[in-house]
Amino acid sequence: MREVLFPVDPVPVDTPLGRINVRPLSAGTVQVDAPYLTVDDVPLKASAFLNGSPKTRQFDLVKEIRDELGFTAPHALRATLVDGRTADVVVLGKIAEVVIPAVNKLAQERWALFLEAERRALNNSILGLEQGLETVRGRIDAKELELKAVEQELHKLLG
């Protein structure tokens, strides 16, 4: 049986706003954590979730489709000021202007890291399916034993 593979380690990337930690989750999914950013001299922490195309190696904030229109999903980019307030849309825009190009540059320069993340994600997905298959096989075996017992009893009654 396969072993669970842990996600790849995040890669620190320096940006004009501060260091971000980029963790590819697959070839098309990236998580970004930025515990110490500064936007317009205001310290804050941020996180982002991006998806993209493995073919183009271009990423963007996760989109949400409503009524055939695409919107940035509410969880795609979040930022909190040190006093606990949520950052406004202008600050979020400034963060996005830095995070998206940084992730895209990393994808271009270190694509093997993204492929390794994809390999681990696929391995873990297969492992989950295999475990589910074992559970189903166990249930089938139990039902087959029940069926055999019923057939034997029926055979005794009918001769």
pLDDT tens for 109-128 read 999 999 999 999 999 999 99
Helix (H) / strand (E) element for 13: namely strand 11-15
Considering the domain boundaries, does residue 129 fall inside one? yes
Q: How does DSSP classify residue 86?
A: B
pTM score of the predicted model: 0.81
Given the structure tokens 């399916």, which residue do they identify? 129
Whether residue 131 lies inside any domain: the answer is yes
Number of domains within the chain: 1
Per-residue pLDDT reduced to its tens digit, 8-44: 999 999 999 999 999 999 999 999 999 999 999 999 9
> Does 31 fall in a domain?
yes
